[in-house]
Structure formats: structure tokens, C-alpha cells
A and B are shown apart, each in its own frame.
Chain A
Amino acid sequence: MFLIPCPFCGQRNEEEFVSGGEARRRPDDPASLDDAAWADHLFNRDNTKGVVREWWWHARGCRLWFMVERDTLNQAISPAEKPP
């Protein structure tokens, strides 16, 4: 059990949130990708042991999305970023 800093509501219990997975960059020019590059973008993950930049959704709160950096070894979380 850990707290997640929602940039809109402050520190709230993990149970109120849904993880959105690691932040990934959309390909700049999707039309130029071949199948392998698409499959890599859609399915593969870094799945880092350590600090990840990731999405969370405050599903049982303000229902907004935001990003944090979290250490997957101990759940230490950085202050949240509002979406751009």
C-alpha cells in the first residue's frame, strides 16, 4: 500500500488509482514504420527494474490522467506532472 500524488487532489491512497503503464512516445511518422517497428511500439515494453516514467489515472477521484516517476523496486514516487 502506498500513496500516489495526484497533481489535482494531492496524496491519495493507491486503491483510488489505475495504472496506465509506462510512458511511451508515439512514433513521429507512423506511416514510415514497418511491421517490426509497429509491433515493437504496440507490444514491447522496457519494463524497467528501477525508475520508470508512467501514467496513472485517478479513477476513483478526479478521474484525470497524469504522470509520475516511480521506482519499481520500492514504489518511491516523484512529484506528479500534469499532462501537457
Chain B
Amino acid sequence: MRNALSYHERWSEAWRSPEPKPGYDVVIIGGGGHGLATAYHLARDHGIGNVAVLEKGWLGGGNTGRNTVTVRSNYLRDPSIRFFERSRRLYEDLSATLNFNVMFSRRGQIDLIQTWAKWRDVRRRSLSMALVDAEYTIITPGEIVRRVPLVELDPKARLPILGGAWHPGAGIARHDAVAWGYARAADAAGVDIIQNCEVTGIRRAGGRVTGVETTRGTIMAPRISVAVAGHASVVAAMAGLRLPIETVPLQAFVSAPLKPVLDVVLNCPALHVYLAQTDKGELIIGGGADGYTSYAQRGSIHVIEQSVAALIDLMPRLGRVAMLRQWAGMIDLAWDTSPIISTTPVGGLFVDVGWGSGGFKAIPASGEAFAQLIATGEPPELIRPFGLDRFLRGRPVLETAGASNRE
């Protein structure tokens, strides 16, 4: 309060900005939600506080700060449902856990059903999800319009709305706050968070990692953990490792702030568009990924155009809403579109990559599980199916092929 009355100039820093030490027990590359949550859990759950998080830019400046913040667990495969439901539940208490308001708002998600194939898919998911007590039930078109009056049912549409799938556990959270909350908690537990520190090489000896070269000097560590969405292949290549990953642009855009018009996450898998309204009133809107590999941090306008066309089809009254900003993040998509949380053939090198368009919701559970893997060398049951060896063993976790991974 006192700081608010002094032009907000006297707040103390929420975390330190230490100089890098010559060595650590664990170095984490990437200061997004995943790297920070992993550091927090290493310190809190495993007593490993001699940890550095190295970030080439600023905290949460990667995909964690560019995403459309949907938290949900309506996945296709059992291991995915189990994992994402665990993460979704951790979000419910995250503000209390971190003592930092991450503004998680459990508002539910409606997936529109516009084909009979989707209807069968929803029935299948709803049964799989029931096994972990996660609700996913079919609702009628009338119920959709009751909850989202913006939606107009057009019986003559090419893909008329047959029904919806209601996922009451889904919600949204504030992206930056998640990164900041974990950063502050990790810092308080002794973790060094080092920004403006790009890793440029990984040192190895005898098949094991020994440290990293960075723009701020060499930092030694017997265990190195990679959590760099959008740069997994680039960093893995520093250790001579090839990954089953391709990097593609994914775009999103927001409208000018509106009075409350939408109190659920509305997802239209058939036409590739989804949206939610933030607490500030903006509609935050996303769609499918661009169709080529890129590191350019931008996408093509026709992809946005497609999302907008779908939006106007479903909700003609949004036609005159002004759009404010548009941007892209680079997402790493694994061959089966599931994440890779794993040891690697290089001793001491761990990866937490391939989060594609769905890793924001995964931050709490991934941080927890990845920290356990790094601390003990053994993956907990929850992430065992997501090892790198699944490709060699012919056991991929095939999620739906759509690059936006929302179906």
C-alpha cells in the first residue's frame, strides 16, 4: 500500500539477479514456466537448491508469455489425460502454493461438435476421462446457445452444430503471473535465476555433460536440463543429439476490451478457432499452426484469416469487434505431438521439450515430475510414457494430428 502511494517506485525486487557461479549441481536451460517450475520443485521437494536457471532473454519472454492460457485435460490417450488432469488440479491451488496470484479461473470449456466423427471421439474421451474423475459430457445445441448467446445456430451451415462437449474443469490463468510466481518461489529457495544468459554450447567428457558455455562465461554442472520451447533441436544439437521434433509458428490475437460476453473457453476444432475472454475483457483468440518449419517468430496472415472467418461464421455479432494485437510463438512439435520428458543417450542431459501448443497447462505437473526425474534419475509413473525411448520401442503416444492439438 505504501509503495502504491509513492508512484510504485519503491517495490523491492521479487527475485535477485545474481552473477553466475562457476558451477551448480543442476543447470536448467530456459527460463519459461517449465524451467522455473522445475527449479522450484528441485529445491522444494528434493533439497537441491544449488541450481541455476539460464535464460537468454527475460523471464517468461518465450512461449509462456505468448500463449492463450487454456488449462484443460480433455486429451485422447490415457497417459495424456492422467498427466494433464494432474496438472489442471495443481493449477486450482497454485496461487496458494506459490503465494502469488496466478488468477486461475475455472470457467469450463465447450468443444463444439460439428461432425459425427467428432461426436464419437467425444464419447470415447468422456469415458476415458471418467476413469480419472474428470468430467467431459455432451450438451445440446440449445444448451450451448444458453451458455454462449453469441453463438448463432445456422441449420444450413456446411458444418451445423450437432452438440457440444462440456469440460467443467477447464480454465484460464494469467501467463506472466505463472512464470513470476514460480520465479519468486524458486529464488526464495536459493535458485539462481540468470537472465540475458544464452547457452551457446554444451561441454561433454566421456559421454557425459560437464557444463555449458554461455554468453556470460562457462558454467559447470554434472546435470543439465533443457526446457527451451521453440529451440529444443538447436540446444540438443549442442550435445550432438537429434530429436523427433519440428518447430513451427503458432499465432494468436486479442480484441479490444469488451464488456463480459463470454464466460467459458469456446473451442471449435472443426474450423480451427478457439477463444476466451480475459478478466481485462479482451477476447483472446487462437487457431491452427502454420504449415512449415520456422524460427522466425512470425506466421502468415492467411492462417489468422481462417480463424477470423470461422469466428464470424459462429458468432456473426463479433464481426465489428476491433482486433488489437497479433503475434506468434515458435512451438516444438514432436512426431506424435506428445511431449518428451526424458533422460537422453547423453549422460546427465535431461529434456523437457515438445510441448507444442499445449505446454502452459502442463507447467505445474511437468515441473514436479521433471524435477523428480532429474533428482533421482528415474521418471515417475506419470511421465514414463513420455520418454524419448518411446520412438525406438514403437510406443508413441499419438495425440490428434492437428498441429494446434486442440481436437
Taking Cβ atoms with an 8 Å cutoff, the residues of A that contact B are 1-2, 14-15, 18-19, 21-22, 35-36, 39-40, 42-49, 52, 54, 70, 72-75
A49 to B200 alpha-carbon distance, docked (Å): 14
Taking a contact as CB atoms closer than 8 A, the residue among A15, A18, A19, A40 that contacts B293 in the complex is A19
A40 in contact with B242 (CB, 8 Å):
yes
B293 in contact with A72 (CB, 8 Å):
yes
B296 in contact with A75 (CB, 8 Å):
yes
B292 contacts which chain A residues (CB < 8 A)? 14, 19, 70
Chain A binding surface, main DSSP class: mixed
Q: Determine the residue in chain A with the shortest Cβ distance to B345.
A: A36
Known: A72-B294, A73-B295, A75-B296. A45 touches B392 (CB 8 A): no
Known: A1-B300, A45-B243, A45-B246. A75 touches B294 (CB 8 A): yes
B291 contacts which chain A residues (CB < 8 A)? 18-19
A52 to B291 alpha-carbon distance, docked (Å): 15
A45 to B248 alpha-carbon distance, docked (Å): 13
B231 contacts which chain A residues (CB < 8 A)? 49
A42 to B393 alpha-carbon distance, docked (Å): 13
A15 to B231 alpha-carbon distance, docked (Å): 26
Nearest-neighbour CB distance to chain A for B59, whole angstroms, equals: 22
Q: Determine the residue in chain A with the shortest Cβ distance to B389.
A: A39
Does B251 belong to the interface (CB within 8 Å)? no
A48 to B245 alpha-carbon distance, docked (Å): 11
* Chain B residues numbered 267-297 whose CB sits less than 8 Å from any CB in chain A: 291-296
Nearest-neighbour CB distance to chain A for B264, whole angstroms, equals: 32
Does B244 belong to the interface (CB within 8 Å)? yes
B300 in contact with A72 (CB, 8 Å):
no
Known: A19-B291, A36-B392. A43 touches B296 (CB 8 A): no
Q: Knowing that A47-B293, A72-B295 are A-B contacts, what are 15 other residue pairs whose CB atoms are under 8 Å apart, sorted by A's residue number?
A: A14-B292, A14-B302, A19-B292, A35-B392, A39-B391, A45-B243, A46-B242, A47-B233, A47-B246, A47-B247, A48-B233, A49-B234, A49-B247, A70-B292, A72-B296
A54 contacts which chain B residues (CB < 8 A)? 293
6 A-B pairs (CB sep. < 8 Å): A1-B302, A36-B392, A45-B244, A45-B246, A49-B234, A49-B295
B295 in contact with A45 (CB, 8 Å):
no
B296 in contact with A44 (CB, 8 Å):
no
A45 in contact with B294 (CB, 8 Å):
no
B392 in contact with A39 (CB, 8 Å):
yes
A48 contacts which chain B residues (CB < 8 A)? 233
B233 in contact with A14 (CB, 8 Å):
no
A52 in contact with B296 (CB, 8 Å):
no
A46 to B245 alpha-carbon distance, docked (Å): 8
B100 contacts which chain A residues (CB < 8 A)? none
Q: Determine the residue in chain B with the shortest Cβ distance to A40.
A: B242
A47 contacts which chain B residues (CB < 8 A)? 233-234, 243, 245-247, 293
Does B301 belong to the interface (CB within 8 Å)? yes
Contact with A along B236-265 (1 / 0, CB 8 A): 010000111111000000000000000000
A43 to B242 alpha-carbon distance, docked (Å): 9
A73 in contact with B296 (CB, 8 Å):
yes
A2 contacts which chain B residues (CB < 8 A)? 300
A43 in contact with B293 (CB, 8 Å):
no
Does B335 belong to the interface (CB within 8 Å)? yes
B300 in contact with A43 (CB, 8 Å):
no
B301 in contact with A1 (CB, 8 Å):
yes
Q: Which 9 A-B pairs have the closest CB atoms?
A: A47-B233, A43-B244, A44-B242, A19-B292, A39-B392, A43-B391, A49-B295, A1-B300, A43-B335
B295 in contact with A44 (CB, 8 Å):
no
Q: Determine the residue in chain A with the shortest Cβ distance to B294.
A: A72
A73 to B231 alpha-carbon distance, docked (Å): 12
B242 in contact with A45 (CB, 8 Å):
yes
Q: Determine the residue in chain A with the shortest Cβ distance to B293.
A: A72
Nearest-neighbour CB distance to chain B for A26, whole angstroms, equals: 17
B247 contacts which chain A residues (CB < 8 A)? 47, 49, 72
A75 to B234 alpha-carbon distance, docked (Å): 18
A63 to B296 alpha-carbon distance, docked (Å): 27
A21 to B248 alpha-carbon distance, docked (Å): 11
A9 to B248 alpha-carbon distance, docked (Å): 26
A67 to B284 alpha-carbon distance, docked (Å): 37
A18 to B242 alpha-carbon distance, docked (Å): 24
Q: Determine the residue in chain A with the shortest Cβ distance to B299.
A: A1
A80 to B95 alpha-carbon distance, docked (Å): 53
